[in-house]
Amino acid sequence: DQQVKQNSPSLSVQEGRISILNCDYTNSMFDYFLWYKKYPAEGPTFLISISSIKDKNEDGRFTVFLNKSAKHLSLHIVPSQPGDSAVYFCAASALYNNDMRFGAGTRLTVKP
């Protein structure tokens, strides 16, 4: 069962513009959400997280927005840089169960 969905397998943006990656979830028990970044032949690396008590969390060029009523979150990267080119995974977990569920990933390409 796909509890976390990333419906866009790929996204291409120009350097300097905004990248917006989207994620939807179905399990209303999820209350902790994360974005991971993955380069080829490496494991996913934690990027940014948000708990369900917030609707926005910002860290430098990266901002995560959470819309609990829509069960939707998004990652904004601005300005996008070529080094941001990677696969981005959305993940979610619930306090009652510490296993994290991942989306299928979105491959971001930032063109110079």
Is 105 a binding residue for other proteins by CB under 8 A? The answer is yes
* Smallest distance, other proteins to C-beta of residue 32, A: 4
Please report how many Cα atoms fall inside a 13 Å half-sphere around the Cα of residue 43, on the Cβ side: 1
Q: Give the interface segment with other proteins, choosing from 1-9, 53-61, 66-74, 75-83 (CB under 8 A).
A: 1-9
User: What binding mask, one character per residue, do residues 60-89 give for other proteins by CB under 8 A, x or -?
Assistant: -----------------------------x
CA distance 39 to 42: 6
- With CA atoms as reference, report the closest residue to 70 among 20, 18, 1, 5: 5
- With CA atoms as reference, report the closest residue to 34 among 59, 14, 17, 15: 59
Contact 88, 108 (CB under 8 A): yes
Is 103 a binding residue for other proteins by CB under 8 A? The answer is yes
Q: Which residues bind other proteins (CB under 8 A)?
A: 4, 6, 9, 31-32, 34, 36, 41-46, 49, 51, 89, 91, 93, 95, 97-105
